[in-house]
Copies of this chain bind each other. A is one copy, B any other.
Amino acid sequence: MTARTSSENAREIPEATVARLPVYLRALVTLADDGIPTCSSEELATAAGVNSAKLRKDLSYLGSYGTRGVGYDVDYLRYQIAREIGVTKDWPVVIVGIGNLGHALANYSGFRSRGFQVVALLDADPAQHGEIVAGVEVQPFDRLEEIVAAADVAIGVIATPAAAAQSVADRMVGCGITSILNFAPSVLAVPDGVDVRKVDLSLELQILAYHEQRKSQTGALLADGGAA
């Protein structure tokens, strides 16, 4: 669920494809780490958990980076996807709300290694201020504007309780942040041009519960759809 941005671009990559590019990138990094120089669409698709037709169609939106009869050069394709996503350099990120989840996010090494740098941790609660988490000091939320301006931050992460999320989002938007990753279980209202992605833990579990309930009922057939 991202904001629509229309525009007639020849390079218009479908949203479903965009959502898979990071998966491909991670699979390529793993292959590269294993010393594999080249792969077929079949191999990469397996590593990424999709089928090869979908993979090839997805990659075709980026360009022709493979070699017919051979496959893909792992490093080359990896670079092309990283460039397309925009993670060839690090993005500065602020995290607001340093509770349990905020701590976990701040400590999550995957951010650093995948194109993001946590430049500030902010919390409204004075009791938290001064604590050092993953090498970064927790500061008052009121310093948001100052920090965003100084580090040219475009991406904000909200890990506050639901009640605070909208006002945090408003402040973020007000100081120029245009992408928000929201872990609070609330729907955010933001202006056009601001992207919001939501991660909701209990929502994911509820989707599993739905399918789980189906499985235990009837017993006629397991059905399912493969997931992932």
Contacts and interface: CB of A to CB of B under 8 A. Distances in A.
Interface of A: 1-7, 15, 18-19, 21-23, 25-27, 47-49, 84-87, 91, 93, 100-101, 103-105, 107-108, 110-111, 114-116, 154-155, 157, 178-181, 185, 187-188, 191-216, 220-228
Contact of A203 (B23, B200, B210): B23
A55 to B, nearest CB: 13
Contacts of A191: 225
A52 to B, nearest CB: 14
Given A3-B225, A181-B201, 6 more contacts: A85-B213, A111-B202, A181-B204, A195-B224, A196-B228, A199-B199
A209 B115 contact: yes
Q: Counting chain B CB atoms within 10 Å of each CB, which of A194, A199, A207 scores highest?
A: A207
Which A-B residue pairs are the 5 nearest by beta carbons? A192-B225, A86-B213, A49-B187, A22-B206, A100-B104
12 contacts: A2-B207, A2-B211, A2-B223, A6-B228, A91-B212, A100-B103, A108-B201, A115-B202, A155-B209, A155-B212, A181-B201, A197-B208
Contact of A100 (B107, B202, B210, B211): B107
A176 to B, nearest CB: 11
Contacts of A216: 154
A87 B207 CA distance: 10
Q: Counting chain B CB atoms within 10 Å of each CB, which of A48, A185, A225 scores highest?
A: A225
Contacts of A209: 85-87, 91, 115-116, 155, 179
Contacts of A220: 7
Contacts of A48: 187
Contact of A21 (B25, B111, B206): B206
Nearest to A182: B228
B87 A206 contact: yes
A66 to B, nearest CB: 21
A185 to B, nearest CB: 6
B104 A202 contact: no
A228 B8 CA distance: 11
